[in-house]
Amino acid sequence: MARYFLRRIGLLLLTVALTSLIVFVITQYLPGDVCRIILGREAGDAAVADCRVDLGLDDPLPVQYFRWLANFAQGDWGTSYSVKAEIFPVVMQRTRNSLMLAAVTLVMAVPLSILLGVLAGLNENKGVDHVISVGSLAVVGLPEFVTGIVLIQLFAFKWKLFPANSSIRVETPFWEALPMLILPALTATLVLLAYIARLTRAGVVEELKQPYVRTATLKGLPRRMVIFKHVLRNALLPTVTVLAISFGWLISGLIVVENVFNYPGLGRLLAFAIDRRDLPLLQAVTMITVVGYALANLLADMAYAWLNPRIRLE
């Protein structure tokens, strides 16, 4: 198991390194001269040339790459062109915000979707199953900006339960921010719900067919024990893996939700950076996203290995 863990970490580092290389190379080949963008179109050639020397843009590529990588690893992520501020603190704040939103989403989504999935699986092809399966499919078919706005209409305007706008500030502590997180988290939950519920349902249906369920039933164990002790731990294996991967999406993939609710997360930051052609910011956010996904994958692998005795005990 320890060897498995170490191998996985090694792969993670390799993934991140390779991605950094790709990110770097791609940004080199984007059209437009970085210095011209900073100084504006009317800048003189001499000014541009000086700027290039300043930023080290005329050095050979490998040198630039390793300089960038070294800086990045040390926390010096440079200065944003558009915001004219240090990138590192900005990205870190946004990461914190995204993490909060992800946490709330998971707390809402996980128990609910697993419960629905188990209910559907236990009642395969009966009424409950049809309602849950079709219902969740319908919901996931709706884009987040639709569900988000509908939720705002209902919960914020009609029933006045939660605020319509979630633009929290840097200093806002978690507990204060919580009411503002509910609606965006709910929107993201609706997306995850169908996915997780269907997966759980399939897992439950599959495991119920296994002979060990018959053994447990014929041992005289009560139904609830058979389901919760015997079936679930096997049925949830694929679900756990997918949940861990979803975590990666929740960190940096919620652009639409963040937009609808005006929530300062990583997704909006990424969109902002792309829009402004802010290369350093873009690179930084991309790298954080990659690290997030890679860690999520690692978590998924480790969870699976831990839960599955066959792999854990090799």
Q: Which residues bind other proteins (CB under 8 A)?
A: 3, 210-212, 214-222, 225, 229-230, 233-234, 307-310, 313-314
Closer residue to other proteins, CB minimum distance, 207 or 258? 207
User: Minimum CB separation from other proteins for residue 202, in Å?
Assistant: 18
Closer residue to other proteins, CB minimum distance, 5 or 272? 5
Convert 40-98 into a string of H (helix), E (strand) and C (coil). Answer: CCCCCHHHHHHHHHHHCCCCCHHHHHHHHHHHHHHCCCCECCCCCCEHHHHHHHHHHHH
Q: What angle do CA 310, 238, 13 make, to 5 degrees?
A: 80
Report how far residue 119's alpha carbon sits from residue 131's, in angstroms, rounded to the nearest whole number: 11
Contact 188, 101 (CB under 8 A): yes
User: Minimum CB separation from other proteins for residue 221, in Å?
Assistant: 6
User: Minimum CB separation from other proteins for residue 196, in Å?
Assistant: 20
Report how far residue 116's alpha carbon sits from residue 112's, in angstroms, rounded to the nearest whole number: 6
User: Minimum CB separation from other proteins for residue 242, in Å?
Assistant: 18
User: Minimum CB separation from other proteins for residue 223, in Å?
Assistant: 8
User: Minimum CB separation from other proteins for residue 258, in Å?
Assistant: 39
**How many other CB atoms are there within 10 angstroms of residue 106's CB atom?**
18
User: Minimum CB separation from other proteins for residue 194, in Å?
Assistant: 27
Closer residue to other proteins, CB minimum distance, 201 or 230? 230
Closer residue to other proteins, CB minimum distance, 234 or 259? 234
Closest Cα to residue 234, out of 214, 208, 216, 215? 208
264-303 burial, b at 16+ Cβ within 10 Å, e below that, comes to bbbbbbbebbeeeebbbbbbbbbbbbbbbbbbbbbbbbbe
Report how far residue 129's alpha carbon sits from residue 202's, in angstroms, rounded to the nearest whole number: 11
Closer residue to other proteins, CB minimum distance, 71 or 125? 125
Closer residue to other proteins, CB minimum distance, 84 or 310? 310
Closer residue to other proteins, CB minimum distance, 104 or 204? 204
